[in-house]
């Protein structure tokens, strides 16, 4: 599993397609969309012509833009129609991405290749740039005997779990070996998988040096033995190959962990092994170890750089400024009668409850809980627990608390050193029993945005809701 018979050697040479200040790069030999590079403050216009047989819409994941530009499913267009996205990029420099977001069919469309990076450049000369600034997009897939992609087909149980493949693709290619110079690199990692979680580590014993999260650079670098990366999340990683010998090969791996998935039967819980039978045929469950890609050091010498001690300035949002600091809104993510729900509800196109309305120009704390916490009634409720990567559209937030007291110790022990809660985020991993508090400010735009589980099959099943800024 997770290894093929042929090795593909991949050198990253960005090919600029057009533009000066902004550019489109093609990822070599990849089905993925372009890497769009823009400057903060730029106005961009994207013409989207839908040539798919089904409706679609583009979501600019992580960007702070008006609702009509954000890719809400209600703005999906049909085959033959056109939608023009036009917005000013006012996010911090960082690694964002774009992908389709039509109601109930986001999973298959992303799976079939619709995803790309949207990089807001920082022009920071203390960081590797050009060919040393390399995107790493991680996705898993299943291929049939004719090398065609296989997706979940009328497989309700598979959908319950989310798509899990058996081949790891890096930038759209299997079995990737990168040729790297004796140089310092900046890797922009995106977990673009439908539901696979990675526990990323280097096999050379070096820690993972994280310099950025979803919303841009950290204040200072953080070293971790491994990094948990859930679907939708990005991480920027600093890696130095400058001191390595020619021919050295270093693996980027995903280590084994327990994702806490369980099925309860009549009140009792059974372990995650029980889920094996639910996986798509051929698929491999979350938490199995595998190699992600190899980095082979060539004889070329690049540029050795010193890891900066300061990367950016991040002002923490003060919890005392939140209008609901004494009484945060609570969002329970759980399973109810074989259906993933948020506070007992599923997605309705323009449906928004009182508890989902917020005021413009206010700061709020929201608490997310994985589990029904006794709210469910009847033996079929909350009988399944799974990780949920939680994503909010339209803004970046800060994580102020991650409470793991309700988690199973045996699960927590396998992941505890991998959470990057510093910096700006738009997606975070919520494991069974976990409670996470985030803080954010609603500003600039009113209207409907969605928030949802970024396990794309869960999202397609309706584990998504609107919030409205009024
Ligand atoms: Cu990347 Cu609403 O999603
Ligand atoms: Cu989920």
CA distance 367 to 317: 15
CA distance 255 to 203: 10
What per-residue confidence (pLDDT) applies to 283? Answer: 83
pLDDT grade for 364, boundaries at 50, 70 and 90:
very high
Percentage of the chain with pLDDT > 90? 80
- Residue whose structure tokens are 């927590």: 412
Flag the least confident range among 69-83, 148-162, 345-359. Answer: 148-162
What per-residue confidence (pLDDT) applies to 6? Answer: 46
Does the beta carbon of 59 sit less than 6 angstroms from any atom of ligand 1?
A: yes
Ligand 2 centroid distance, CA of 341 (Å) = 9
Ligand 2 centroid distance, CA of 326 (Å) = 28
Ligand 1 atom closest to 451 (CA) = 2
DSSP-derived secondary structure letter, 360 = T
Residue 128: is its pLDDT beyond 70?
yes
**ipTM surpassing 0.90, yes or no?**
yes
Residue 273: is its pLDDT beyond 80?
no
pLDDT grade for 156, boundaries at 50, 70 and 90:
confident
Tokens of 293: 């890609």
What per-residue confidence (pLDDT) applies to 282? Answer: 73
What per-residue confidence (pLDDT) applies to 62? Answer: 98
What mean pLDDT is predicted for residues 194-206?
A: 97
Tokens of 98: 């774009």
What per-residue confidence (pLDDT) applies to 266? Answer: 43
What per-residue confidence (pLDDT) applies to 195? Answer: 97
Does the beta carbon of 391 sit less than 6 angstroms from any atom of ligand 1?
A: yes
pLDDT grade for 4, boundaries at 50, 70 and 90:
very low
Residue 21 vs residue 365, higher pLDDT: 365
| β-bridge partners, 381 | 336
Domains, in order of start, for the chain: 10-121 (2.60.40.420), 130-301 (2.60.40.420), 319-469 (2.60.40.420)
pLDDT grade for 193, boundaries at 50, 70 and 90:
very high
pLDDT grade for 142, boundaries at 50, 70 and 90:
very high
Ligand 1 atom closest to 61 (CA) = 1
For residue 131, give every residue at least 6 positions away whose Cβ sits within 8 Å of its Cβ, in sequence order, or none. Answer: 12, 13, 14, 302
What mean pLDDT is predicted for residues 303-314?
A: 96
Which residues surround the ion ligand 2 when the cut-off is CB under 5 Å? Answer: 388, 453, 455, 458
Residue 409: is its pLDDT beyond 80?
yes
What mean pLDDT is predicted for residues 374-379?
A: 58
Residue 74 sits at the vertex; the CA angle it makes with 336 and 100, to the nearest 5 degrees, is 85
Residue 106: is its pLDDT beyond 60?
yes
CA distance 32 to 40: 24
CA distance 16 to 278: 43
DSSP H helical ranges for 40-176: 106-111, 156-161
Flag the least confident range among 202-216, 227-241, 364-378, 433-447. Answer: 364-378
Of the listed ligands, the closest to the CA of 347 is 1
What mean pLDDT is predicted for residues 275-301?
A: 83
What sign does the CA torsion over 445, 449, 452, 457 have?
A: negative
Regarding pTM above 0.90, the answer is yes
Q: How many helices (H) and strands (E) does the chain have?
A: 4, 34
Q: Are 100 and 106 in contact (CB under 8 A)?
A: yes
- Residue whose structure tokens are 């990057």: 420
The DSSP annotation for 138-194 comes to EEEE-B-TTS-B----S-HHHHHH----SEEEETTEESEEEEEEESEEEEEEEE--S
pLDDT grade for 154, boundaries at 50, 70 and 90:
low
Which three-class secondary structure state does DSSP give residue 449? strand
pLDDT digits (tens, 9 = 90+) for 41-71: 998 899 999 999 999 999 999 999 999 999 9
Q: Are 128 and 184 in contact (CB under 8 A)?
A: yes
Tokens of 239: 């890696």
Tokens of 376: 């469910």
Which three-class secondary structure state does DSSP give residue 365? strand
CA distance 371 to 368: 9
Tokens of 165: 């493949």
Ligand 1 centroid distance, CA of 213 (Å) = 16
What per-residue confidence (pLDDT) applies to 382? Answer: 64
Average pLDDT value over all residues in the chain: 90
């Amino acid at each position: 599993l997770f290894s093929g018979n042929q090795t593909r050697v991949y050198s990253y040479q960005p090919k600029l397609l057009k533009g000066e200040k902004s550019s489109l790069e093609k990822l070599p030999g990849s089905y993925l969309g372009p890497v769009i590079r823009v400057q903060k403050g730029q106005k961009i216009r994207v013409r989207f012509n839908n040539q798919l047989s089904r409706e679609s819409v583009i979501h600019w994941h992580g960007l702070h833009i008006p609702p009509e530009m954000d890719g809400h499913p209600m703005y999906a267009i049909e085959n033959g129609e056109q939608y023009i996205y036009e917005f000013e990029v006012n996010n911090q420099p960082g690694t964002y991405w774009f992908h389709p977001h039509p109601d109930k069919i986001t999973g298959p469309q992303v799976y079939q290749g619709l995803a790309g990076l949207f990089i807001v450049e920082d022009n920071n000369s203390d960081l590797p740039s050009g060919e040393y600034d390399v995107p790493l997009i991680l996705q898993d897939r299943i291929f049939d005997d004719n090398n065609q992609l296989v997706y979940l087909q009328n497989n309700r149980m598979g959908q319950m779990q989310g798509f899990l493949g058996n081949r790891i693709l890096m930038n759209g290619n299997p079995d990737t070996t990168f040729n790297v110079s004796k140089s310092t690199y900046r890797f922009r990692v995106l977990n673009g998988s439908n539901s696979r979680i990675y526990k990323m580590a280097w096999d050379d014993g070096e820690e993972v040096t994280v310099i950025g999260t979803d919303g841009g650079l950290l204040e200072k670098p953080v070293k971790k033995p491994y990094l948990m990366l859930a679907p939708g999340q990005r991480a920027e990683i600093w890696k130095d190959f400058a001191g390595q010998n020619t021919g050295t090969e270093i693996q980027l791996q995903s280590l084994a962990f327990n994702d806490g998935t369980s099925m309860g039967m009549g009140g009792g819980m059974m372990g995650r092994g029980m889920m094996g039978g639910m996986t798509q045929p051929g698929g491999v469950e979350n938490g199995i170890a595998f190699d992600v890609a190899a980095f082979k050091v060539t004889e070329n010498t690049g540029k050795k750089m010193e890891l900066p001690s300061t990367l950016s300035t991040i002002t923490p949002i003060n919890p005392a400024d939140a209008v609901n600091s004494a009484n945060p809104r609570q969002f329970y993510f759980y399973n109810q009668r074989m259906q993933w729900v948020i506070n007992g509800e599923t997605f309705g196109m323009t449906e928004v409850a009182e508890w989902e309305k917020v005021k413009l120009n206010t700061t709020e704390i929201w608490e997310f809980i994985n589990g029904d916490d006794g709210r469910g009634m009847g033996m079929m409720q909350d009988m399944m627990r799974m990780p949920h990567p939680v994503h909010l559209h339209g803004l970046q937030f800060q994580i102020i608390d991650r409470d793991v007291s309700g988690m199973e110790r045996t699960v927590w022990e396998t992941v505890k050193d991998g959470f990057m809660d510093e910096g700006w985020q738009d997606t975070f991993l919520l494991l069974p029993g976990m409670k996470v508090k985030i803080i954010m400010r609603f500003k600039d735009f009113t209207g409907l945005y969605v928030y949802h589980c970024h396990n794309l099959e869960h999202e397609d099943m309706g584990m998504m809701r609107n919030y409205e800024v009024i």
